[in-house]
Amino acid sequence: MSSPTLLVKVCVLGDSGVGKTCITTRFVQDTYDPVFQPTIGAAFSSRHVYAPEGTLYKLQIWDTAGQERYKSLTPMYYRSADVAIITYDITARESLFQGAAAWLRDIRDHGPPDVLLAVVGNKTDLSESTRQVHRHEGRKFAKEIGAIFYETSAKTGENVSDVFLDICAELEGKKGLKLMIKSPKDLIPIAALVDKKKFSFPFNGKLQLNPNTDAGSKKKNCCSL
């Protein structure tokens, strides 16, 4: 008998150039492309995460376009979202205080009232001298809206998987997620074993929740385009 599978719709939001596609690609394929190619409309990908009781989360990830000309299209992608990841560039102050704030208004106006929020500051692999948003400012913004907070590097991969694993930890026991009967066949292996308190990456390549420990603490990490 196959494990029950819950579908989770995740929308990745943020201004153009903050690294939404790089973060998504790093999580789904464990790769990084330094060549910036703007997303047109939205790009779809998926990845599975196992929970200890046998539940399998299928994360359906919608990487939305950040360019102004496509902004009128994004509400159609996150109207039924379970999770919204609001992304900003730590080397561009306006991407948080103007961009992320605007995306937050958008998701509140057009998204479900119970959507789970995450705020992600990207590109921490860049020199500290280029930083324009301090970590405590991003954390404060996230805390005020009740969101998960991380700083990431899509380039090095640091904290990228942690974002999605923390999301699944928050979703444990949440009602209303869609049940999918079909067994998954698109599990993508992760090369390295990652030490986590709440989740772990076993060598069989499946993301798996460790039921014996608490959620992991957040670490300083990074990314660039």
| Domains of the chain, residue spans | 5-209
Cβ proximity of 162 and 217 under 8 Å: no
Question: Parallel, antiparallel, or unpaired for β 42-50 and 5-14?
Answer: unpaired
pTM score: 0.75
- Residue 202 scores a pLDDT above 90: no
Nearest residue to 28 via CA among 137, 190, 194, 174: 190
The pLDDT score that the predictor gives to residue 201 is 38
The pLDDT score that the predictor gives to residue 171 is 84
Reported as a single tens digit per residue, the pLDDT across 34-67 is: 765 665 556 778 898 876 666 788 999 998 865 5
Mean pLDDT of 24-39: 81
With cut-offs at 50, 70 and 90, classify the pLDDT of residue 173.
Answer: low
Rg of the chain (C-alpha set): 16
Strand partners, 208: 50, 200
Sign of CA dihedral 27, 33, 34, 39: negative
Cβ proximity of 66 and 14 under 8 Å: yes
CATH number of 5-209: 3.40.50.300
Reported as a single tens digit per residue, the pLDDT across 108-122 is: 998 999 999 999 999
Distance CA(166)–CA(3), nearest Å, equals 21
Cβ proximity of 89 and 18 under 8 Å: yes
Segment holding 125, helix H or strand E: none
Comparing 136 with 167, the larger pLDDT belongs to 136
